Amino acid sequence: QHFPVVIVGAGPAGLTLGNILRAASVDCLVLETESRAFIEQRPRAGVLEEWAVRGLEQRGLAENLLARGQVHHECEFRFAGERHRFEYASLTGQHHFIYPQQFLVTDLVREYADVRGGAIRFGVRDVELHDLDSERPSVSYTDPGSGLRQVVRADVVAGCDGARGVSRAALPPGYARISRYDYGIGWLALLAEAPPSNDCVVFGMHPRGFAGHMARSPEVTRYYLECPPGDDPENWSQDRVWAELQERLGAAGAPRLTEGRLIEKRVLDMHSYVVEPMSYGRLFLAGDAAHLTAPIAAKGMNLALHDAFLLGDALVTFLTKGDSTGLDGYSRTSLARVWDYQEFSQWLSEVYHGVSSGDPHRAGTTQARLRRLFASPAAARAFAESYLGRA
Ligand code: FAD
Contact 31 CB / ligand 1 (< 6 Å): yes
| Residue 264 contacts residue 276 (beta carbons within 8 Å) | no
Q: Torsions phi, psi of 204, nearest 5?
A: -110, 115
279-332 residue pLDDT tens: 999 999 999 999 999 999 999 999 999 999 999 999 999 999 999 999 999 999
Query: Whole-structure pTM over 0.90, yes or no?
Result: yes
Contact 354 CB / ligand 1 (< 6 Å): no
176-192 residue pLDDT tens: 999 999 999 999 999 99
CA distance 208 to 106: 38
Contact 294 CB / ligand 1 (< 6 Å): no
Cβ-in-10-Å burial (0-12, 13-18, 19+) of 277 comes to middle
54 and 122 in one domain?
yes
149 and 25 in one domain?
yes
Q: What angle do CA 301, 36, 65 make, to 5 degrees?
A: 45
CA-nearest of 206, 202, 263 to 233 is 263
Q: pLDDT band at residue 390, thresholds of 50, 70 and 90?
A: confident
Domain count, the chain: 2
Mutation test of ligand 1: which of 51, 140, 271, 301 has the most ligand atoms closer than 8 Å to its C-beta? Answer: 301
Residue 263: domain span: 183-270+356-388
Q: pLDDT band at residue 109, thresholds of 50, 70 and 90?
A: very high
pLDDT at 70: 93
Per-residue pLDDT at 216 exceeds 90: no
107 and 7 in one domain?
yes
57 and 145 in one domain?
yes
360 and 312 in one domain?
no
Residues 6+ apart with CB under 8 A from 235: none
Whether the bond between 4 and the residue before it is cis, its omega within 30 degrees of 0, is no
Is 364 a domain residue? yes
Is 9 a domain residue? yes
112-142 residue pLDDT tens: 999 999 999 999 999 999 999 999 999 999 9
Distance of CA 333 to the CA centre of its chain: 18
1-44 residue pLDDT tens: 999 999 999 999 999 999 999 999 999 999 999 999 999 999 99
Specify the CATH number for the domain of residue 317.
3.50.50.60
What is the identity of the amino acid at 349?
A: S
337 and 360 in one domain?
no
E-state strands within the chain: 2-8, 28-31, 47-49, 70-72, 75-79, 82-86, 96-98, 119-121, 125-130, 138-142, 149-159, 177-193, 201-205, 211-215, 221-227, 261-276, 279-280, 283-285, 291-292
pLDDT at 379: 97
* Distance separating the N- and C-terminal Cα atoms of the chain: 40
| Residue 242 contacts residue 94 (beta carbons within 8 Å) | no
Paired sense of beta strands 96-98 and 47-49, if any: antiparallel
Check: complex ipTM more than 0.90: yes
Separation of CA 145 and ligand 1 centre (Å):
25
277 and 263 in one domain?
no
pLDDT at 274: 98
Specify the CATH number for the domain of residue 242.
3.30.9.10
364 and 298 in one domain?
no
Backbone torsion region of residue 301, taken as left when φ is above 0, otherwise alpha when ψ lies between -120 and 50, otherwise beta: alpha
What is the identity of the amino acid at 227?
A: C
Considering only CA atoms, which residue is closest to atom 30 of ligand 1?
A: 45
Contact 298 CB / ligand 1 (< 6 Å): yes
Residues 6+ apart with CB under 8 A from 144: 122, 123, 124, 125
Atom of ligand 1 nearest to the CA of 214: 28
Per-residue pLDDT at 391 exceeds 90: no
Residues 6+ apart with CB under 8 A from 282: 132, 133, 134, 135, 137, 154, 155, 156, 157
CA-nearest of 85, 90, 100 to 215 is 100
70-92 residue pLDDT tens: 999 999 999 999 999 999 999 99
Contact 47 CB / ligand 1 (< 6 Å): yes
CA distance 71 to 85: 16
- CA-CA-CA-CA torsion sign (99, 101, 103, 108): positive
Separation of CA 276 and ligand 1 centre (Å):
19
Per-residue pLDDT at 95 exceeds 90: yes
154 and 293 in one domain?
yes
Contact 201 CB / ligand 1 (< 6 Å): no
Is 17 a domain residue? yes
Atom of ligand 1 nearest to the CA of 12: 51
10 and 41 in one domain?
yes
Is 88 a domain residue? no
| Residue 352 contacts residue 203 (beta carbons within 8 Å) | yes
Atom of ligand 1 nearest to the CA of 15: 51
Per-residue pLDDT at 60 exceeds 90: yes
Is 78 a domain residue? no
338 and 222 in one domain?
no
Name the percent of the chain in helix, strand, coil, to the closest 5: 40, 30, 30
283 and 245 in one domain?
no
Sequence length of the chain is 391
